[in-house]
Amino acid sequence: MNNSGKTLFEKVWDDHLVLQETKDTPAILYIDLHLIHEVTTPQAFQSLRDQGLSVRDPSKVLATMDHSTPTLPVKSLKDLDIVAEKGPADQIRDMIRNCDEFGIELHGFDSDKRGIVHVIGPELGATQPGKTIVCGDSHTSTHGAFGALAFGIGTTEVGHVLASQCLLQRKPRTLAVNMTGTLRSGVSAKDIILRIIQEIGVDGGVGHVIEYRGPTASMLSLEERMTICNMSIEAGARAGMFAPDDKTFNYLIDKPMSPKGLGWDKAIDKWSELVSDDNCKFDKEVTIDVDHLSPMVTYGTNPGMAIQIDDIVPESNSDLGHKKSLNYMQIESGRPLLGKEIDVVFIGSCTNSRISDLEDAAEILKGQKVANGIRVLVVPGSQAVKKEAESLGLDKIFESAGAEWRESGCSMCLGMNGDTVGNGQLAVSTSNRNFEGRQGKGARTILASPKTAAASAIAGSVEDPRKYS
């Protein structure tokens, strides 16, 4: 058989080579879109300043503030010192100054386009099939849902891309994750990706770009694909991708930065070629059947430590980490997680803060009350999501259930902006990392879908959303 076909990843990679890699030197890869935010850029701008360099193409930079940005309203910069601590406030001012000095348009407090980088890229149509996209943030993998090659980079590399629009890279290997089966009611894309990570492990994707494919892939919406690609990094992968299809094109057709008129037709022709050839070869392949999948929840301190909600927490194996992790989580093996009392529910983050996620949660919370003593924070992924949610009345559903409704941002996903889970508290969170202290010092995190999070908010304990659907 002829194995000379190319994978989707290889097509995008080859199309962006400024210089081929050799044994001695990495490839120079051209970057089409660079997303930047306030936390991983200050030192990069400083290094440009120190070297007397400018930003090569400010039009290819999309800048916003999300990570340490308050989710309480900030009407003017004067408000900042009231709602934010000194560190984050200084960082935000630094971002404003840097963008101003280097001629980059910033979607700051006064912009209705502000939001989590990985939510606004697709929403604005800046994220497109076949593009190379980077950001000083590991969840850049989200954008792969559109058939882009998108991955996280460090701050030194942020400086490289600002100065040259290019990045030094060694070609990653490819991993095909074939998904089969149809999701049952009450089960979400979040459950699929937690299942995949449980299967291949938190280092199962190291050195690889994952392509999610198979019959299930075409059934998933772009929002669902984003949730799955988002957590590719949680399996250690460089990036995750879905081949673009009609759903992708329909998503993008009316977005502000999408090509228009003749340009659109040309784009569609080009984008339609972005599928892995039948005779291509992946370095590794796995198959995951989602037919009988139940909602997933994590019990430990990495996203691979997950179970289906109707299972019990596995017994400690010989791995030191397992015991340490359960100790930290104060969770016992051999018992179910279902019914375990919780303190906080967080619905938000670049994994699950788009309108469909909020609708999922609202559907369950409608006409219900959050259990006594449980703090529920709902944080939309962008100001646009916030506006849409409000026009659909979702904010009212959340607030009358007893949840807090905020401005957009990363918020409790990493607890940099003052929104934290208290020391020792247990949270059900729709974010992507259950690392020790990720959501605040001493915070304990159970990762789950928006549906599971909403059901747990009502129950005051880990709850199966299928009870409400």
Partner 1 sequence: MEKIIEFCSKTVVLAVNDIDTDQIIPARYLTVTTKDGLGDGLFADWRFDESGNKLEEFPLNNDKSLGCSILVAGSNFGCGSSREHAPWALVDYGFKAILSTSFADIFKNNALKNGLLPLSVSTDFHRMLNENEGIEVTISLETMIIESSNGMTESFDLEPFSRYCLMNGVDQLGFIMKHEDQINAFENKG
Decide whether 129 or 152 has the Cβ nearer to partner 1: 152
* Contact present, 258 and 125 (Cβ < 8 Å): yes
Q: Which does 386 bind (CB under 5 to 8 A by kind): partner 1, ligand SF4, none?
A: none
Q: Which does 30 bind (CB under 5 to 8 A by kind): ligand SF4, partner 1, none?
A: partner 1
Residue 54 interacting with partner 1 (CB under 8 A): no
Site string for ligand SF4, 432-451 (x = CB under 6 A): x-------------------
Site string for partner 1, 280-309 (x = CB under 8 A): ----------------------x-------
Tokens of 45: 């701008």
* Sequence letter at residue 384: A
Decide whether 216 or 349 has the Cβ nearer to ligand SF4: 349
Q: How far is the CB of 121 from ligand SF4 (least distance, A)?
A: 11
Residue of 14, 49, 103, 154 interacting with partner 1 (CB under 8 A): 154
Instruction: Give CA 158 to chain center in angstroms.
Output: 19
Half-sphere exposure of residue 367, counting CA atoms within 13 Å on the CB side? Answer: 2
Residue 88 interacting with partner 1 (CB under 8 A): yes
Residue of 18, 100, 317, 335 interacting with partner 1 (CB under 8 A): 18
Residue of 410, 426, 428, 459 interacting with ligand SF4 (CB under 6 A): 410
* Contact present, 434 and 427 (Cβ < 8 Å): no
Q: Which of 225, 433, 238, 456 is nearest to 349 (CA)?
A: 433
Q: Which does 155 bind (CB under 5 to 8 A by kind): partner 1, ligand SF4, none?
A: partner 1
Instruction: Tally Cβ neighbours within 10 Å of residue 186.
Output: 21
Q: How far is the CB of 81 from partner 1 (least distance, A)?
A: 14
Tokens of 429: 């969170």
Q: Which residues pair with 405 in a beta bridge?
A: 378
Q: How is 362-405 classified by DSSP, letter by letter?
A: HHHHTT--PPTT-EEEE--SBHHHHHHHHHTTHHHHHHHHT-EE
Judged by CB under 6 A, the stretch of 156-164, 196-204, 275-283, 408-416 that binds ligand SF4 is 408-416
Map tokens 């935010």 to a residue: 37
Map tokens 């999408």 to a residue: 258
Residue 414 interacting with ligand SF4 (CB under 6 A): yes
Residue 137 interacting with ligand SF4 (CB under 6 A): yes
Site string for partner 1, 338-377 (x = CB under 8 A): ----------------------------------------
Residue 349 interacting with ligand SF4 (CB under 6 A): yes
Q: How far is the CB of 116 from ligand SF4 (least distance, A)?
A: 5
Alpha-carbon distance 244 to 405, whole Å? 34
Q: Which does 90 bind (CB under 5 to 8 A by kind): partner 1, ligand SF4, none?
A: partner 1
Site string for ligand SF4, 34-53 (x = CB under 6 A): --------------------
Map tokens 């020792």 to a residue: 424
Decide whether 19 or 82 has the Cβ nearer to partner 1: 19
Alpha-carbon distance 5 to 356, whole Å? 36
Q: How is 89-155 classified by DSSP, letter by letter?
A: HHHHHHHHHHHHHHT--EE-TT-TT-B-HHHHHHHHT-S-TT-EEEESSGGGGGGGGGT-EEEE--H
CA distance to 11, 174, 175, 197, 393, per residue, from 206 (Å): 21, 10, 10, 12, 42
Residue of 34, 67, 208, 340 interacting with ligand SF4 (CB under 6 A): 67
* Contact present, 165 and 31 (Cβ < 8 Å): yes
Rule CB under 8 A: which residues touch partner 1?
18-19, 23-26, 28, 30, 39-40, 42-43, 46, 67-68, 85, 87-88, 90-91, 94, 136-138, 152-157, 159-160, 163-168, 170, 172, 202-203, 206-207, 233, 236, 238, 302, 319-321, 324, 414-416, 423, 433, 435-438, 441-442
Rule CB under 6 A: which residues touch ligand SF4?
66-67, 116, 118, 137, 139, 349-350, 410, 413-414, 431-432
